[in-house]
Amino acid sequence: MKKIGIVGKTGKTEPAEMIKEFLPWLLEQGCEVYIDSETASIAGMQGYPRSEIPALVDMIIVLGGDGTMISVARLVGHRNVAILGVNIGGMGFLTAVQKEEFRDAMKKVLTDNCPVEERMMLSACVFRHSECIAEYSVMNDVVVNKGALARIIDLETYVNHTYIATFKADGLIVSTPTGSTAYALSAGGPILYPTLNSIILAPICPHTLTNRPIVLPDDIVIEVFLKSPNEDVFLTLDGQVGFSLKMNDIVMVKKSSCKTHLFIPCEKDYFHILRTKLKWGER
């Protein structure tokens, strides 16, 4: 773990300030450091295009929030590059290391004393006239949803070619266990332990209140057929990438061959995160 990439939250000065503080220490440990161009320029240094960093390094340090972590996970793709998240954002479910804990956490990473956890990802493909016209890998969720002024949409849904229902709703969420504490939680979905091999299917504001989220095994294929002529319907990937859908488009979602590898801060288990971030046990 001597080749280290650093990716900072876009548009923020805090990552550059942290780099100035910790870069000399990392270099003293014998590390080669590759900083993304935008963050490096703010710090007055030479950087590397963000898209090239995963191919150059053994691990990536993310200085930001969960959104930055998720974008880096998609960037890493099939490469076996583990990610350490340092929280300078908001909630910080994935970026669980605080700034003041960074040096201690990195000492454990550099001495192979920090465990790495594998998280499943999803693959989503949009078919139009039997042709795959867009394909994505996501860490959190794949969402079909309507625009703000659009009517309820009809989503004919299948699992392994077996018909489930035609959901009349504002949309539909297909989520990984990691994403179970994100949009799917707001839609009434369950919290899944992040290493489970499961997929959540959760309708958004369904017209029929008995349409509830369901947990499915990860070896299935979900197909969602858009049956509404509404032009204002979108596919959203991890809440960060969007794609406009048309009537009769098919969104196929399945487990991705990619996995995200996360350094888990030592002495911080998942239930600690639930207690601190979701205030479990408080009144």
SS3 122: strand
Taking the C-alpha atoms of residue 51 and residue 272, their distance in angstroms, rounded to an integer, is 33
Q: How many CA atoms lie within 13 A of 203 on its CB side?
A: 21
Comparing C-alpha atoms, which of 141, 167, 162, 164 is closest to residue 152?
A: 167
The two most distant CA atoms of the chain are separated, in Å, by: 61
Neighbours of 103 (CB within 10 A): 12
Spot the catalytic one: 36, 58, 66, 269: 66
Contact 266, 113 (CB under 8 A): yes
- The structure tokens listed for 105 are 């956490």
Question: Which H or E run includes 22?
Answer: helix 14-28
| The two structure tokens encoding residue 154 | 């009809």
Buried b / exposed e over 56-68, threshold 16 CB at 10 Å, is ebebbbbbbbbbb
Task: Name which of 61, 95, 102, 97 is nearest 81 in CA terms.
Answer: 61
Q: Does 112 qualify as catalytic in the annotation?
A: no
Active site positions, annotated: 66
